[in-house]
Amino acid sequence: MSTVAILYPGHSAEDEFKQLETLIPDARFPVIHTWEGSTDHDVDALLKLGSPELLTPPAAEARSLGADSAIWACTSGSFVYGWEGCHEQAEWIRSASGAPSSSTSLAFAAAVHELGATRVSIAATYPADVASHFVKFLEHDGITVTALSTYGVPSGEDAGLLGPEWVLDTARAADITGAECLLVPDTALHTLAVLPELEDALGIPVLTANQVTAWQGLKLAGHPTTSDGLGALFRGR
């Protein structure tokens, strides 16, 4: 049994990690909440969410659980720190948890490379100014963003209320011309139930936040990363 500690801000789509336990044999994804307030999609607020003051105590809790890996499950609260800052966050968590650590943003970059892709389209819940940081983050790792759609959803709590039809409509509306996969960042968004339908509709792999978070956590824990119903990433190349 592998334990992947999920450091999660606020309350929105954390139930997806319990769902993952039913899809992936011998894996646990205990959620440790890092923040109980609003998770606004605002750069200053996101920098606070990803600070060592808020991440270190829950990472220490992950140590008490005997976690095999620990992941900061917040895309925007990691990419706003930039490429180097994301790695610093992972080190804060690793030091406190005693386990291999990462974040959702780093997981997205790793997942794109796992698929052998270099060109991606993004459909983001965030306002444009927040989403632009994700584009810069990916480009730092040699990933070309062919198109970016933004929807100005004010907070993670608001994103958590969006249903599967919103996710499907947003993905279908994305400009995927020249893209090898579509990225749908935001761990507050429920996407797991529609992953197969998304990929069938678009004809290319789709990477979503909680999916890549779990995948990266499993890899760091040395656990198999294959499962039915979780898209091309979990089928391997």
172's CB contacts (< 8 A; 6+ apart) are 201, 202
Would you tell me how many other CB atoms lie within 10 Å of the CB of residue 236? Answer: 9
Predicted local distance difference test score (pLDDT) of residue 237: 54
- The domain defined by 108-208 folds into Rossmann fold (3.40.50)
Predicted local distance difference test score (pLDDT) of residue 236: 66
Give the C-alpha distances (Å, rounded to integers) separating 22 from 26, 101, 215, 230.
Answer: 9, 23, 15, 12
Bridge partners of residue 103, in order along the sequence: 72
Range(s) for CATH 3.40.50.12500 in the chain?
A: 2-106+210-234, 108-208
Give the C-alpha distances (Å, rounded to integers) separating 223 from 32, 62, 98, 115, 119.
Answer: 20, 17, 17, 18, 28
The correct answer on CATH 3.40.50.12500 for the domain covering 2-106+210-234 is: yes
124's CB contacts (< 8 A; 6+ apart) are 130, 131, 134, 148, 149, 150, 151, 184, 185, 186
CA dist 237 and 235 (Å) reads 7
User: Which tokens belong to 37?
Assistant: 């307030």
In tens digits, what is the pLDDT along the chain, a chain of 237 residues?
999 999 999 999 999 999 999 999 999 999 999 999 999 999 999 999 999 999 999 999 999 999 999 999 999 999 999 999 999 999 999 999 999 999 999 999 999 999 999 999 999 999 999 999 999 999 999 999 999 999 999 999 999 999 999 999 999 999 999 999 999 999 999 999 999 999 999 999 999 999 999 999 999 999 999 999 999 999 965
